[in-house]
Amino acid sequence: MKPFLLKKLVPIPKIENHKIAVFIGPHPDDIEIACGATIAKLKRLGVQVHFIIITDGQGGSTDEMLIEDVLISARSQEAMDGATVLGVDSIENLNYPDGGIYEINDVAHNLVERLVVLKPDIVFSPDPHLPSEIHPDHLMAGQAATLAVYISQYPSVMKIHHIDYDIKQYHSVQSTLAYYYTHRPNQRVTVSPLDCQLANQAILKHQSQFQDSSPAWKALNQYLWLRRHRLGGLFHRMAEGYRVLGPIHQHCFPEINDY
Q: Which residue ranges make up the site for Zn ion (CB under 5 A)?
A: 26-27, 30
CB of 25 to Zn ion, least distance (A): 7
With left for phi above 0 and alpha for psi between -120 and 50, is residue 18 left, alpha or beta? beta
CB of 136 to Zn ion, least distance (A): 10
CB-nearer residue toward Zn ion: 27 or 243: 27
CB-nearer residue toward Zn ion: 13 or 36: 36
Q: Which residue is nearest to Zn ion (CB)?
A: 27
With left for phi above 0 and alpha for psi between -120 and 50, is residue 120 left, alpha or beta? beta
CB-nearer residue toward Zn ion: 180 or 259: 180
CB of 67 to Zn ion, least distance (A): 21
CB of 246 to Zn ion, least distance (A): 26
CB of 235 to Zn ion, least distance (A): 30
Q: What's the CA gap between 177 and 247, in Å, rounded?
A: 8
CB-nearer residue toward Zn ion: 134 or 234: 134
Q: Which residues pair with 45 in a beta bridge?
A: none
Would strands 238-245 and 187-191 be described as parallel, antiparallel, or unpaired? Answer: antiparallel
Q: What is the DSSP string of 105-163?
A: HHHHHHHHHHHHHH--SEEEEE-TT-TT---HHHHHHHHHHHHHHHHTT-HHHHHHTT-
CB-nearer residue toward Zn ion: 27 or 228: 27
